[in-house]
Homo-oligomer: A and B are copies of this chain.
């Protein structure tokens, strides 16, 4: 779904983001002939303080709700928890969703748009986007086959306009851990997908993995680099935000898995666990990345 109104018919950007998320969740459920209240549990989180985009969207959906926070890694985190709920039998039907909104995120993490602040070349563009995945214990074409919970990795990056560098070490750490745990080589996957490292972070993560003898340069796909046309759209180092990897996964990758163009992907959404408050106190920006393997059954 593409929407041209950045307010989504609401009075504020925040209410707009919430409306976007609600439409996304309803759309995902309608695609499998269900409604949200059919689910046993819905996992959702977002970038806005106190996860309000999720909360105000889900308030109206009459579904048991578990709030999560993983910054831009939220789609992978939710998918991991949702698949655990279904695989363990605690849920028959489960879903996870997330969103981000450029106008809300800039105001909260950097500057209100009205300031017209200049952005350095390392900056990324928070995508106004959203994604939702419904998982069922019935046999379907696609399956979550494994997942690796990431650790927090902090290499002392303090620049809120350089998130790719803050997240790249976490992505490299989780990919390495995943391949090691499962005794796999990178070519097992058609694509190894990072969330929103952007041009700078993607190059850094490839370099970090190469130092450990892991070469993902042939099948590394970064949602932040792919969601926009980096030559024509003025987004500097690429897209970012929970909605970036969520919408690329749901709108671009999953259809390719369903059609058979892709057989196996590793979805490693990445999050910069930044707080403007703690940044003012001199703290660095920790990164995290969770990896979820999605394969054709």
Contacts and interface: CB of A to CB of B under 8 A. Distances in A.
A11 B63 CA distance: 42
A252 interface: no
A68 B66 contact: yes
Contacts of A67: 45, 68-70, 77, 273, 288
A64 interface: yes
Stoichiometry (number of copies): 2
Interface residues of A, number: 53
B151 A63 contact: yes
A228 interface: no
Contacts of A157: none
A15 B281 CA distance: 9
Nearest to A274: B50
Contacts of A208: none
A151 B59 CA distance: 8
The 9 closest A-B pairs by CB, nearest first: A88-B88, A64-B149, A67-B69, A50-B275, A52-B275, A69-B69, A59-B152, A55-B273, A49-B49
